[in-house]
Amino acid sequence: MKIVYTDNNATTRVADEVIQEMLPYFGEFYGNPSSMHTFGDQTAKKIKEARQRVADLIHADPEEIVFTSCGTESDNSAVYSAINASPDKKHIITSNVEHPAINNLFKLLKRTRGYRVTFVPVDKKGLLNLDVLYKSLSDDTALVSLMWANNETGVLFPIAEIAQRVREKGILFHTDAVQAAGKVPIDVRTSGVDMLSLSGHKIHAPKGVGVLYIRKGVKFSPFFIGGHQEKGRRGGTENSVSIIGLGKAAELAKAHLPVMDTEVRTLRDYLQNRLLEKIPSCSVNGDLEKRLPNTLSIGFDAVEGESILLMLDREGICASSGSACTSGSLDPSHVLMAMEVPFKSAHGSIRFSLSHYNTREEMDHIIAALVPVIERLRAMSPFWKDGKVV
């Protein structure tokens, strides 16, 4: 069966160019980049190139790039470094729609280390309440960490504006840009963030490699204590193969940004508008404008997400749901709940996240498959009668 992959906010296909770039370093060139011989130095030179390519994607200096094992490690490193830098400050700020890598860490710091945490709310469109954010900034605040783009809805936060206000107060600002990278332009210079997290496998590099950008001059204490790798900022022998792959992926991502903004956006809008047209009682979650060009979160009233996904799976369609049942927890997603999406559509919310590999034919396949799936599930739902929710 042909696979229609529209779950790119979960992970992405490793680009062929990336695989080609990595292959020699799996086999022939296995040297340790720290070694004092030409053989190992070949890997070191390639890592240097990768560092430059990643820096170029976000307009950073290569020295500001630290390679990690994943987005979660980058997030954890940034947060712990920030609170270690100001041990007397006991207040940290984030939003209530963050990825678990931040959300659960902030909850842990609250529970076990006595931090006062402000979880800034979002409105019904998923947009951040800036008033609450700015009013909560205080002399006791050690860090503000906010995601650039939301993984479930694709909603964008105004990071440049926020970073400026936060830094004016002398508070460190970190952003989890895992979902934004490669989908919208990121410029660390003009946005003025202090730290920024990226993940390789969301931009067509392999899993197991991430990036933490640390602005020059920001005091940093490492999360992994070990050797001198990454200029002492992250111990442990470099995952050279994946880093080299990530370098290539970053280069491709930069080149593909205009495609994201045009072709991918057009495909997403096509899928969205056709579904809204053909299926009654469904609605898009999140602000329609301030949103990643590849993401569509759409809720179908009176049906449940896992059932939709498993029926789509039979048609080779890969998507994900904001629904409880898929994640093993019973509540609908904390993101949709924070946005006060009504239960009737929150449980039946599906996320399609596209990449430049997707085609118009694939969107047509999804539309053709989804219409009868929703009809079928509604026909057995006790909350659907005569074409509406009861």
* Smallest distance, another protein to C-beta of residue 147, A: 23
Q: Which is nearer to another protein, 57 or 339 (CB)?
A: 339
* Smallest distance, another protein to C-beta of residue 344, A: 5
Distance of alpha carbon 259 from alpha carbon 239, whole angstroms:
30
How far is CA 39 from each of CA 47, 48, 228, 247, rounded to the nearest angstrom?
14, 15, 19, 20
Residues 93 and 137: beta-carbon distance below 8 Å: yes
Instruction: Residue 306: name the closest of 286, 320, 293, 296 by CA.
Output: 320
Segment contacting another protein (CB under 8 A): 57-65, 224-232, 259-267, 340-348? 340-348
How far is CA 108 from each of CA 65, 79, 113, 192, 214, rounded to the nearest angstrom?
27, 12, 8, 28, 24
Rule CB under 8 A: which of 286-305 touch another protein? 302-305
117 beta partners:
92
Residues 353 and 301: beta-carbon distance below 8 Å: no
Among 19, 117, 325, 369, binds another protein (CB under 8 A): 325
Report helix, strand or coil for 322: coil
Place of tokens 């053989």: 39
Q: Which is nearer to another protein, 108 or 310 (CB)?
A: 310
Among 1, 380, 386, 387, binds another protein (CB under 8 A): 380
* Smallest distance, another protein to C-beta of residue 133, A: 24
Segment contacting another protein (CB under 8 A): 108-116, 162-170, 323-331, 354-362? 323-331
Residues 286 and 126: beta-carbon distance below 8 Å: yes
Active site residue 325: yes
Distance of alpha carbon 305 from alpha carbon 15, whole angstroms:
30
Place of tokens 């340790």: 32
- 375 binds another protein, rule: CB under 8 A: no
* Smallest distance, another protein to C-beta of residue 304, A: 5
Residues 54 and 68: beta-carbon distance below 8 Å: no
Segment contacting another protein (CB under 8 A): 144-152, 171-179, 276-284, 309-317? 309-317
Indicate which residue of 70, 282, 318, 325 is catalytic. Answer: 325
User: How many residues interact with another protein (rule CB under 8 A)?
Assistant: 25
Site track 101-120 with another protein (rule: CB under 8 A), x = hit: --------------------
* Smallest distance, another protein to C-beta of residue 312, A: 12
Among 344, 365, 367, 371, binds another protein (CB under 8 A): 344
How far is CA 329 from each of CA 123, 343, 346, rounded to the nearest angstrom?
24, 15, 14
299 beta partners:
283, 349
Among 306, 318, 357, 365, binds another protein (CB under 8 A): 306
Instruction: Residue 254: name the closest of 184, 200, 156 by CA.
Output: 184
Q: Which is nearer to another protein, 23 or 325 (CB)?
A: 325
Segment contacting another protein (CB under 8 A): 69-77, 164-172, 179-187, 339-347? 339-347
- The residues binding another protein (CB under 8 A) are 302-307, 310-311, 314, 323-325, 328-332, 343-344, 347, 379-383
Query: Catalytic positions, please?
Result: 325
